[in-house]
Structure 1
Amino acid sequence: MTPGALLLVEAAAAVAILILLIVWVRLSPFIALILVSLGLALVAGIPAGAIVKGFEAGVGGALGHIALVVGLGTILGKMMIESGGADRIADTVISAFGPHRADWAAMTIALIVGLPVFFEVGFVLLVPLILVVVSRLHQHPLRLGLPMAAGLSVVHAMVPPHPAAMLATEAYHADIGLTVLLAIIVGVPTAAIAGPLYARLIIPRMGQAMPPPMSRERTPPASPPGFGITVATLLIPIMLMLVGSAGSSLHPFLQFIGSPVVALLTAVLASYWTLGLARGMSLDTIQRFTNECLAPTAMITLVVGVGAGFGRILTDSGASAAIVAVAGQWHVPVLILAWLIAAVIRIATGSATVAMATAAGIVAPIAAVSTVRPELLVIATGAGSVVFSHVNDGGFWLMKEYFGMTVLDTVRSWTVCETIISVTALSIVLALSLLL
């Protein structure tokens, strides 16, 4: 067996052992991820002195972003719930769309909110609202949660100005305006199939979900904030990130205020007034709410971090490079090749951004001599970058922990949802390539 093939077998065995430890042994995902990551590193031949350092670098790289985003987003969500603002939005959404179409509303909101923000940012902003609505409708959390996540995932992977999509647009020399237009044409039906339609199909087959206590519906106060001020507070980070994205080339300060951390911090401070002090809350009450909501996010944040550490070990061991080498030898149409390379890197590393960026670099020389529209290549690459989200993907653990699911139910819902997004988007892109 060649060294590359051996690495692929070792990586596959590591993922299988990880699932076994979590599902059958009932070991904490946090502990299981650490054990399997270190074990794979030893078996793959990474020098012992570099194993822990590499793993810590992977964990630290993820937590440097995700910990602040999850923490600040959770505080903003807590203020919306405790003030009654989330209930106000829930009432408005239910009355506007009707209880039977609330899942379509969740998808639509996610497609809009997700345009300027990372998946994780949009997720922590919207999940408190989703959980309040499903609680009021007495439905399974994934009835709205899966459409919301599908909408966010679609725009994160396929639509500029998201960083990976922008990088692919530049690598393929695609027109950004046409890329956005085609991505929306592909993304809307894709999100509909993977979100509301698939959720209605799978939820009757799902087990009971137990969201964290801080996410459950509470009795709203007597004088909640209005719909307008609540939505305006929620939109603060989105608008700031739009300004940062559009104005980063004009002034560094615009890029600073548009960063996810600064934008969310601004929204949290604003919520202390608009949803707190202005509604009669005391500073002591606001501090108590802030401290209460952070505790349940600790395990979520740690699991996401060690999941990234596992992805780093897969990369350092050479498994990712072996996958790329195999994929590069496939003789297939360029659209499918871009999708395949992004897909195998995604499965190996757990990162849609890494998968899309790496695949674009590999396919760009081929794209330069291809007759396929480069805009469709961007979307095909993005579609491949979200396939089969599993235990080395931070989004997998966000879905599992925030919606209180088992690993198996997370695979049946979220992993399949991501794969539907990937395959459906590729199918639409292939159809469009016959017309354009």
Structure 2
Amino acid sequence: MTTTLSLLSASAVGADAAPAIPAGRLVPAALLGIAVLVLLIVRFKLHPFLALTLGSLTVGAVAGVAMTDVMDSYTKGFGSTAAGVGILIALGAMFGKLLADSGGADEIVDTIVGRSSTKVLPWAMAGVGAIIGLPMFFEIGLVLLMPVIFLVARRSGLSLVRVGIPALAGLSAMHGLVPPHPGPLVAIDALKANLGITLGLGILVAIPTVAVAGPWFARFASRWVDVPAPDLFEPRPESATRRPSFGITLFTVLTPVVLMMGKALADIFADKGTPARAVLDFLGTPLVALLIAVILAMFTLGRGAGMGVKEVSSSLEGSLGPIAGIILIVAAGGGFKQTLVDTGIGQLVADWIAQSGLSVLLLAWLVAVLIRLATGSATVATVTASGILAPLAAGMPATQVSLMVLAIGAGSVFFSHVNDAGFWLVKEYFGMKVGQTIKTWSLMETVLSVTGLVLVLLLNLVV
């Protein structure tokens, strides 16, 4: 999905300040860079961190960019991703470990599994993913959900893919389709769409889209790829003397969700400069919201479960070692993405499609798809496509503009692959190989994107 937390500035680089490199060099550079990356990982078993770094250098060399500029782009993408996503992964890991060690995750899992049959469980996970993902970027929702996904898979005996893919579908659909998620809000602002209409139509599109790309697709994906749930969030024996209640655990888990939702709603309805807006903006910042959640969890989950100060501290410390490699790989994915963005490949693709004469909704989806494929960022695809298509939205009926927002959102999540830091995040957390990640996560994103487009086109016939 994206390394989506730091990319509004990156999109501006790709859309407004792209270097004047001939198209005859940009396209081969992007294709060869991706090919080198895949070959190094799949054939030569090179660590993804090194492969992503070499892939970035390949893109720059073939495009004819000075190597110093290539490294500047790579380190900028690496640094911004590590600063944004990396910190959130670390805080999410701390929260997840406390959730596991205190027995809070077990309490949630027992409640979900106990009240859901095997057939209903994937649908329940899709709903949980959608609720968690509504105000959050994908990466944050994923790190919050991982302990629950792992334990549900272990406790229910279902495949990790069968349980995890529906939750990821819920997260991803919210990311692309439903305001007040930041992605759709960017497109709404750029195209001057009506928020209420877009929200209503977005929900109409998102519910069946999640059903198709989540529980339905997971039935097939779990036959292609069967991986066990890793022991990343396995609770330590005797770490807690009692479990926190389901209500307390749910309150703690939803605290960062509520804080970020409050910020999103304040951005829509509260006037700038007011004390309430300032407070909500601060508390709803992802880093602050997760930091508050970790501190709260130390008391409600850790101390609330009878863990002593040393046990709580040990749990927090033990959470960081297993995710160090994940942070490096995800940050390197951000560096590779930024190298592609700064060469101008995304803007080149967008310009080609904008001159094609296709229908407006299909054009909006296709522009977002190709920018997504080229840059690996859903946010860059959304911002760039919205900027290109804004002149077409002027004078269109409000409903049509809202459908254009949804078409762009659906296109922005199409086929996450090796240039997307979210691809590596899913791969490492789920313990899958590159090919297995493509068969599950990448195809799920594609099903979600195409289903969203089909529903948008059908709505266009009746509204």
TM-score (norm 2): 0.91
Matches within 5 A, 1:228-377: 228-247=247-266, 249=272, 250-251=274-275, 252-370=278-396, 373-377=400-404
Determine if contact 2:154/2:229 at 8 Å carries over to the other structure: no
Aligned-CA RMSD value: 1.6
SS of residue matched to 2:119: helix
- Using the TM superposition, name which of 336-345 and 271-280 deviates more: 271-280
1:384 aligned partner: 411
Separation of aligned partners in 1, 2:113 and 2:68? 56
Determine if contact 1:45/1:317 at 8 Å carries over to the other structure: no
- Using the TM superposition, name which of 323-332 and 20-29 deviates more: 323-332
| Corresponding residue to 2:81 among 40, 62, 65 | 62
Kindly provide the CA deviation profile for residues 331-370 of structure 1, in whole angstroms up to 9, marking residues without a partner as x.
1000000001000110111110110011000011012244
Residue ranges of structure 2 left out of the alignment (5+ in a row): 1-20
**Residues 273 and 128 of structure 1: CA distance in aligned 2, closer, same or farther (over 3 Å):** same
Separation of aligned partners in 1, 2:286 and 2:101? 23
2:203 is aligned with 1:177:
no
Separation of aligned partners in 1, 2:448 and 2:359? 20
Separation of aligned partners in 2, 1:344 and 1:123? 25
Aligned residues: 434
Determine if contact 2:153/2:229 at 8 Å carries over to the other structure: no
Q: Which amino acid aligns with 2:69?
A: A
Q: How many angstroms does 1:161 deviate by? A: 1.5
Q: Which amino acid aligns with 2:168?
A: A
Q: How many angstroms does 1:219 deviate by? A: 5.3
Matches within 5 A, 1:55-204: 55-204=74-223
Q: Which amino acid aligns with 1:376?
A: L
SS of residue matched to 2:462: coil
1:394 aligned partner: 421
| Corresponding residue to 2:438 among 378, 403, 411 | 411
Kindly provide the CA deviation profile for residues 59-95 of structure 1, in whole angstroms up to 9, marking residues without a partner as x.
1111111011111111111111001111111111112
Determine if contact 2:176/2:409 at 8 Å carries over to the other structure: yes
Separation of aligned partners in 2, 1:349 and 1:56? 16
Kindly provide the CA deviation profile for residues 389-419 of structure 1, in whole angstroms up to 9, marking residues without a partner as x.
0011121111101111011000000000000
2:232 aligned partner: 214
Determine if contact 2:100/2:234 at 8 Å carries over to the other structure: no
**Residues 222 and 242 of structure 1: CA distance in aligned 2, closer, same or farther (over 3 Å):** same
Separation of aligned partners in 2, 1:276 and 1:394? 32
Q: Which amino acid aligns with 2:391?
A: P
Residue ranges of structure 1 left out of the alignment (5+ in a row): none
Determine if contact 2:242/2:306 at 8 Å carries over to the other structure: no
**Residues 113 and 414 of structure 1: CA distance in aligned 2, closer, same or farther (over 3 Å):** same
Determine if contact 1:132/1:217 at 8 Å carries over to the other structure: no
Q: Which amino acid aligns with 2:44?
A: V
SS of residue matched to 1:99: coil
Identity %: 42
Q: How many angstroms does 1:210 deviate by? A: 5.6
- Using the TM superposition, name which of 64-73 and 240-249 deviates more: 240-249
SS of residue matched to 1:302: helix
Separation of aligned partners in 1, 2:228 and 2:109? 20
Determine if contact 1:85/1:226 at 8 Å carries over to the other structure: yes
TM-score (norm 1): 0.96
2:451 is aligned with 1:424:
yes
Determine if contact 1:46/1:316 at 8 Å carries over to the other structure: no
